[in-house]
């Protein structure tokens, strides 16, 4: 008995074996902070375009150890090399931290939904990141700055635990020096040699005046941080469909088949990771979903 | 619910001895027969060589948390309901090597596993199971990404359905509109009739291939009386469902009851043993395991069935998202009866009753749904009181 196919949902034949990684080579390795590093990867076979959209992720495979879902943090207009910024938290991310230039790594992807970079054209853009959450948002910053005239005001609010956890310090300085972008950084705690803001990222939003009907907000960080930030933006009269967040769950396949990343009615690997806030507000309010 | 694909042409009959002819015809066409056979005190699905491997004269008695084989007074081949196995075992293997990789001069070389898909003839597929296969087709074949292993096995499979004339204590296919009669999704459908001294099958084909195979066994038209006998048996079975599940507004009911006292209640009984998900014919979750050999030169990734009832399932650094058994049972049941509809446009439950039978503490999805509904009503009642 042959299965009946639904012609409307023709299976994607281009990705024949999406569970098999393609081999890439580490071109550059940069230590960002005490626990975070950036890998620049080039396909070992030298083929393929590896185009991606801001917000998408790859499944990176360390030989013999395992896979981890890691956002692409480079510029979508320069997809080669592929750039990933990774924080060491467990076995795979630790093993990857020991990679050296020339070593090989497996890549599957890109997977998932993307940030509304196109939809935001003509609007003010508010980017709010917590910790490693800046990595998946960096492609947005690159794209917005590349076509700066198409957007209204651009804000970046960034919070980390301590000054030592700040990612992309050189770039942060460059962005901060621009007149067409407002960059505010805060840390949860700091020693006396820190002259910047101290406090959670929401403290940065206090003075923010929004043109709520003409603003798009993109938030990435711990769930609790995203909730509080979104609540503040809603108080500033932003509608839920203008607020975007990126969600995280255990992932084993990245292609909607393993079931691990389910989030309410959705799969984060294919319906997310980027969601509009109206899709997740109910779910975020519940524990253990 | 499945819609019929092929007009069922006509019904033919063959004597019970000719079942072996069907087996032989399929074997000659290079099919590996798989179907019901007795293993470890239960009717399991495994490889079959001849009709002697079938559970002739056996039946199963089932209730919540209870399964027992019993002998029948007759020599029925298919006089049982369903056991702990489902056909996903063949189409979606429990453990599968996805690829192997090795280090050659320090370089990783990945080789996808490219085993030839076995050509199975599934013997004795129940109507609810046909629906379960149709649901897994949606998952594995109709999304953006497909599962090549499932696809290859599925396309090759020949399906011999058997209509249910015996129903189990935990069955509720009538509620789920998935049985007891096989209406489509098969190559052949048989009804086994035992009427005093006569023991025969009424058969119909559901595909061109099925018709070809059937023609090699019999051309004997079923008489009106034989057809009526088969029909009566199924109608009788439909009236004897062991369980019922009221599906009215079940989708809204579950989403509305994310927070309800019943989850705590069921969590107090659930052992999070994963049995319900392993025996369920539609559950599809899997995990991947990466291993290396002792030399460190060879790595392999295997895929394994997984369950939303484990702590690891939802683990992210810092801890599991679904830490409490309550949240895991809620995830499973809400997925089955509500989220599945969002994801695949169908219920995730076909009413086979396996999760009820094989739950060591007898947790019953129909009972839980009833309790949630009862609580929901009282909520509405309290709300109504408050409003006044
Ligand atoms: C869409 C998405 C994008 C991500 N982007 C980045 C990024 O750009 N940079 C970055 O450093 N991290 C990112 N993460 C988190 C990263 O996937 C985890 O930190 C990583 O999987 C941890 O693996 P481990 O083996 O080192 O940790 P362990 O704690 O040893 O993990 C064991 C297993 O648990 C699972 N797991 C653990 N933590 C997570 C997690 N946070 N999310 C999902 N699964 C997890 C994995 O399956 C892993 O194999 C992202 C996660 C998702 C879902
Ligand atoms: S949830 Fe239970 S009754 Fe429903 S299909 Fe799965 S095992 Fe059968
Ligand atoms: S419901 Fe029953 S079978 Fe399922 S995990 Fe709980 S105890 Fe096990
Ligand atoms: S990661 Fe497997 S379903 Fe999303």
What are B228-249's pLDDT values in tens digits?
Answer: 999 999 999 999 999 999 999 9
Find residues 149-168 of chain B whose CB sits inside 8 Å of chain A: 151, 154-155, 157-159
User: Given this model, what pLDDT does residue A17 score?
Assistant: 59
Q: Would residue B78 count as lying in a domain?
A: yes
Q: Would residue B19 count as lying in a domain?
A: yes
Task: Tell me the ipTM for this assembly.
Answer: 0.91
Residue A12 in this model has a pLDDT that exceeds 50: no
* Binary contact (A5, B142; C-beta < 8 A): yes
Q: Are residues B180 and B286 in the same domain?
A: no
Q: Are residues B232 and B254 in the same domain?
A: no
Which tens digit of pLDDT belongs to each residue from B113-157? 777 899 999 999 999 999 999 999 999 999 989 999 999 999 999
* Binary contact (A257, B143; C-beta < 8 A): yes
Confirm if A9 and A256 have CB atoms less than 8 A apart. Answer: no
Q: Are residues B256 and B232 in the same domain?
A: no
Q: Are residues B177 and B91 in the same domain?
A: yes
Residue B198 in this model has a pLDDT that exceeds 70: yes
Residue B105 in this model has a pLDDT that exceeds 80: no
Find residues 177-196 of chain B whose CB sits inside 8 Å of chain A: 185-187
Q: Would residue B69 count as lying in a domain?
A: yes
Q: Are residues B262 and B209 in the same domain?
A: no
Residue A10 in this model has a pLDDT that exceeds 50: no
B294 touches chain A (CB under 8 A): no
Q: Would residue B2 count as lying in a domain?
A: no
Secondary structure string (H, E, C) spanning B128-173: HHHHHHHHHHHHHHCCCCCCHHHHHHHHHCEEEEECCCCCCCCCCH
Q: Are residues B291 and B227 in the same domain?
A: no
Partners of A87 in the β-ladder: A36
Give the integer Cα–Cα distance in Å for B164 and B169: 13
- CA A65 to centroid of ligand 1, rounded, Å: 13
Q: Note the Cα B92 to chain centre separation in Å.
A: 12
Split at pLDDT 50, 70, 90, the class of B379 is: low
Q: Are residues B283 and B227 in the same domain?
A: no
Q: Which residues contact B176 (CB under 8 A, 6 or more apart)?
A: B128, B131, B245, B247, B347, B349, B350, B351
Residue A3 in this model has a pLDDT that exceeds 70: no
Q: Are residues B64 and B193 in the same domain?
A: yes
Ranking A204-208, B60-64, B70-74, B133-137 by mean pLDDT, the lowest is A204-208
Q: Name the residue of chain A whose CA is nearest to B111's CA.
A: A20
Distances (CA, A) of A65 to A105, B52, B225: 11, 47, 65
Report helix, strand or coil for B51: helix
- Give how many domains chain B has, as a whole number: 2
Q: Are residues B224 and B87 in the same domain?
A: yes
Structure tokens at A13: 């034949």
Residue B60 in this model has a pLDDT that exceeds 80: yes
**Which of A259, A267, A272 is the mutation pick for testing B, counting most B CBs within 10 A?**
A259
Q: Name the residue of chain B whose CA is nearest to A10's CA.
A: B142
Closest by CA to B6, choosing from B185, B227, B215, is: B185
User: Given this model, what pLDDT does residue B380 score?
Assistant: 55
Ranking A69-83, B93-107, B313-327 by mean pLDDT, the lowest is B93-107
| Shortest Cα–Cα distance, B116 to chain A (Å) | 15
Q: Are residues B212 and B263 in the same domain?
A: no
Work out the percent of chain B whose per-residue pLDDT is above 70.
95
Residue A116 in this model has a pLDDT that exceeds 50: yes
Q: Are residues B259 and B141 in the same domain?
A: no
Q: Which residues contact B233 (CB under 8 A, 6 or more apart)?
A: B163, B165, B191, B193
Give the integer Cα–Cα distance in Å for B340 and B254: 12
Which tens digit of pLDDT belongs to each residue from B159-190? 999 999 988 999 999 999 999 999 999 999 99
In 10 A of CB A289, how many CB atoms? Answer: 20
Q: Would residue B244 count as lying in a domain?
A: no
Closest by CA to B181, choosing from B264, B101, B238, is: B238
**Polymer length in residues for chain A:** 289
Mean pLDDT of the region A232-252: 97
B313 touches chain A (CB under 8 A): yes
Q: Are residues B17 and B126 in the same domain?
A: yes
Q: Would residue B283 count as lying in a domain?
A: yes
In 10 A of CB A37, how many CB atoms? Answer: 20
Beta strands per DSSP E along A112-228: 124-130, 154-160, 182-187, 197-198, 215-220
For helices A169-177 and A134-146, give the axis angle rounded to 10 degrees: 40
Give the integer Cα–Cα distance in Å for B91 and B170: 25
Q: What is the mean pLDDT of chain A?
A: 92
Residue B4 in this model has a pLDDT that exceeds 80: no
Split at pLDDT 50, 70, 90, the class of B377 is: low
Give the integer Cα–Cα distance in Å for B218 and A227: 68
Which tens digit of pLDDT belongs to each residue from A159-196? 999 999 999 999 999 999 999 999 999 999 988 889 89
**A106-119: b (≥16 Cβ within 10 Å) or e:** bbbbbbbbbbbbee
Q: Please give the residue range of the domain that contains residue B269.
A: 250-387
Residue B102 in this model has a pLDDT that exceeds 90: no
Q: Does the N-terminal peptide bond of residue B180 adopt cis geometry, omega within 30 degrees of 0?
A: yes
Q: Name all domains of chain A by residue range, CATH numbers in brackets.
A: 22-110 (2.40.30.10), 124-284 (3.40.50.80)
Q: Would residue B3 count as lying in a domain?
A: no
Domain boundary, last residue among B190, B206, B238: B238
Q: Would residue B379 count as lying in a domain?
A: yes
Domain boundary, last residue among B238, B260, B289: B238
Residue with tokens 């989708």: B251
User: Given this model, what pLDDT does residue A4 score?
Assistant: 41
Domain boundary, last residue among B196, B217, B238: B238
């Amino acid at each position: 008995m042959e299965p009946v196919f639904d012609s409307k949902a023709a299976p994607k034949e281009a990705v024949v074996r999406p569970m098999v990684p393609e081999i890439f080579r580490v071109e550059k390795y940069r230590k960002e902070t005490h626990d975070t590093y950036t890998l620049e990867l080039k396909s070992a076979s030298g083929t393929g375009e590896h185009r991606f959209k801001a917000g998408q992720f790859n499944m990176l495979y360390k030989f013999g150890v395992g896979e981890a879902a890691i956002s692409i943090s480079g510029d979508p207009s320069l997809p080669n090399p592929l750039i990933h910024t990774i924080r060491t938290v467990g076995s795979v991310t630790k093993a990857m931290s020991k990679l050296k230039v020339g070593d090989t790594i497996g890549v599957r992807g890109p997977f998932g939904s993307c940030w509304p970079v196109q939809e935001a054209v003509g609007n003010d853009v508010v980017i709010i990141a917590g910790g490693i959450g800046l990595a998946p948002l960096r492609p947005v910053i690159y794209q917005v700055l590349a076509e700066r005239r198409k957007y209204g005001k651009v804000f970046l609010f960034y919070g980390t635990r301590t000054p030592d956890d700040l990612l992309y310090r050189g770039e942060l300085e460059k962005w901060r020096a621009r007149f067409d972008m407002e960059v505010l950084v805060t840390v949860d705690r700091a020693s006396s040699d820190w002259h910047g803001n101290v406090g959670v990222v929401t403290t940065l939003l206090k003075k923010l005046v929004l043109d709520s009907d003409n603003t798009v907000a993109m938030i990435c960080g711990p769930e609790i941080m995203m909730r509080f930030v979104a609540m503040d933006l809603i108080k500033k009269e932003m509608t839920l469909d203008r607020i975007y967040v990126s969600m995280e769950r255990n992932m084993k396949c990245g292609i909607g088949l393993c079931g691990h990343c389910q989030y309410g009615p959705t799969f984060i690997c294919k319906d997310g990771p980027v969601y509009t806030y109206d899709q997740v507000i109910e779910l975020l309010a519940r524990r253990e979903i | 619910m499945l819609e019929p694909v092929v007009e069922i042409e006509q019904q033919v009959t063959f004597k019970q001895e000719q079942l072996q002819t069907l087996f032989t015809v399929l074997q000659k066409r290079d099919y590996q027969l798989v179907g019901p056979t007795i293993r470890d005190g239960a009717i399991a699905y495994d490889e079959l060589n001849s009709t002697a491997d079938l559970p002739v004269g056996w039946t199963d008695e089932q209730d919540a948390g209870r399964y027992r084989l019993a002998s029948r007074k007759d020599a029925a081949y298919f006089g049982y309901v369903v056991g702990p196995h489902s056909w996903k075992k063949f189409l979606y293997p429990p453990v599968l090597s996805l690829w192997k990789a090795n280090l050659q001069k320090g370089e990783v070389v990945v080789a996808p596993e490219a085993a030839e898909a076995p050509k199975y003839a599934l013997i004795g597929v129940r109507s609810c199971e046909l629906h379960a296969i149709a649901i897994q087709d949606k998952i594995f074949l109709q999304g953006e990404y497909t599962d090549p292993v499932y696809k290859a096995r599925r396309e090759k499979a020949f399906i011999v359905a058997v209509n249910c004339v015996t129903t189990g204590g935990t069955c509720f296919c009538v509620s789920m509109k998935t049985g007891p009669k096989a209406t489509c999704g098969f190559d052949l459908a048989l009804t086994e009739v035992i009427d005093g001294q006569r023991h025969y099958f009424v058969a119909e084909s559901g595909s061109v291939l099925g018709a070809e195979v059937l023609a090699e066994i019999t051309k004997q038209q079923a008489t009106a009386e034989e057809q009526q006998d088969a029909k009566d048996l199924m109608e009788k079975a439909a009236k004897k469902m062991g369980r019922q599940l009221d599906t009215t507004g079940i989708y809204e009911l579950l989403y509305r009851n994310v927070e309800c006292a019943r989850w705590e209640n069921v969590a107090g009984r659930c052992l999070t043993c994963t049995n319900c998900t392993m025996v369920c014919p539609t559950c599809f979750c899997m995990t991947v395991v990466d291993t290396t050999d002792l030399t460190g030169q060879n790595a392999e990734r295997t895929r394994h069935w997984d369950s939303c009832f484990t702590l690891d399932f939802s683990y992210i650094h810092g801890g599991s998202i679904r830490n409490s058994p309550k949240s895991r049972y809620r995830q499973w049941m809400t997925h089955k009866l509500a989220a599945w509809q969002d994801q695949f446009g169908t219920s995730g439950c076909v009413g086979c009753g396996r999760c009820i039978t094989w739950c060591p503490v007898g947790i019953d999805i129909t009972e839980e749904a009833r309790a949630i509904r009862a609580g929901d009503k009282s909520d509405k009642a309290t709300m109504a009181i408050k409003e006044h």
